[in-house]
Amino acid sequence: MAGILSISYTSGNVLQASQLNQANQELLNYATAIPNAHLVGGITKDKLSENKIPVIVAICLVPAYIAGDDTDAPAELTVKGDIVPATLPFTLKENASSQLCSIEYRASAVTASSGSEITVTALLNGSINIGNVSTEIVAANKNYRLALADPISNSFVNLNDGDYIEFVVGKSSSNNPSVRGLWAYVTYKTELVG
């Protein structure tokens, strides 16, 4: 019985980008012939045919343990003003199509101070406020997601090689809240091959 693709792969063969692209195009041709009514689980033809893979990067913004004394007990970072604890650079294949899908934040401990909450702002290339918001982190062990509806299909912004996200941790008012174990989980999608 012959396969549905014109190219076959066997164990030990080295795949070439051109072969993978050809196989993807053949699968795309088959997928576009399937009516959406025959697909299940929210999968549509455009999702089947996309030649991109989601990538998730975890970056620590504030560590869970902060040195301050000789004990091993965790200490929280008191936020007195805006700080930039981390920057995430993107190294992408030239001319590859890549898009930012979502950013999730999670902290292991948060202490508000008289209504002042921890805020995180993600800036693309140090100036473009992603989502035009600062995300307030008000409770520990809870995910705070910054994304559009259906973030894989409906992404925030295109990414290019050399772009970066700068994370600014601040506070929502003049009082000084504290935080520890604050992480950002960045999801972007990029082409499998160029």
Q: What is the 3-state secondary structure of 122-182?
A: EEECCCEEHHHCCEEECCCCCCEEEECCCCCCCCCEEECCCCEEEEEEEECCCCCCEEECE
Check whether residue 11 and residue 84 sit in a common domain: no
Assign 144 a pLDDT band (cuts: 50, 70, 90): very high
- For residue 6, pLDDT over 90 is answered with no
Check whether residue 63 and residue 157 sit in a common domain: yes
Assign 114 a pLDDT band (cuts: 50, 70, 90): confident
Instruction: Return the minimum-mean-pLDDT range out of 12-26, 84-98, 119-133, 138-152.
Output: 12-26
Nearest to residue 65, comparing CAs of 57, 75, 56? Answer: 75
What is the rounded average pLDDT of the residues 25-37? 70
Instruction: Return the minimum-mean-pLDDT range out of 22-26, 86-90, 108-112.
Output: 22-26
pLDDT value of residue 143: 93
The token duo for 70 is 């000789």
Q: Which of 66-70, 119-123, 173-177 has the highest mean pLDDT?
A: 119-123
Range of the domain at 58: 50-191
Q: How many domains does the chain have?
A: 2
Which of residues 49, 66, 82 is at a domain's end?
Answer: 49
pLDDT value of residue 107: 93
Domain with residue 135: its CATH number is 2.60.120
The per-residue pLDDT for range 68-82, each reduced to its tens digit, is 555 555 667 788 888
Q: For all residues of the chain together, what is the average pLDDT?
A: 81
Check whether residue 24 and residue 63 sit in a common domain: no
Check whether residue 43 and residue 21 sit in a common domain: yes
Cα separation, 166 vs 179, in Å, equals 18
Check whether residue 129 and residue 181 sit in a common domain: yes
With contact defined as beta carbons under 8 Å apart, do 102 and 165 qualify?
no
Check whether residue 73 and residue 133 sit in a common domain: yes
The token duo for 95 is 């001319």
Cα separation, 146 vs 104, in Å, equals 6
Per the model's pLDDT, the better-predicted residue between 61 and 49 turns out to be 61
Check whether residue 72 and residue 146 sit in a common domain: yes
Check whether residue 97 and residue 38 sit in a common domain: no
pLDDT value of residue 45: 57
Check whether residue 42 and residue 80 sit in a common domain: no
Nearest to residue 177, comparing CAs of 114, 132, 102, 134? Answer: 114
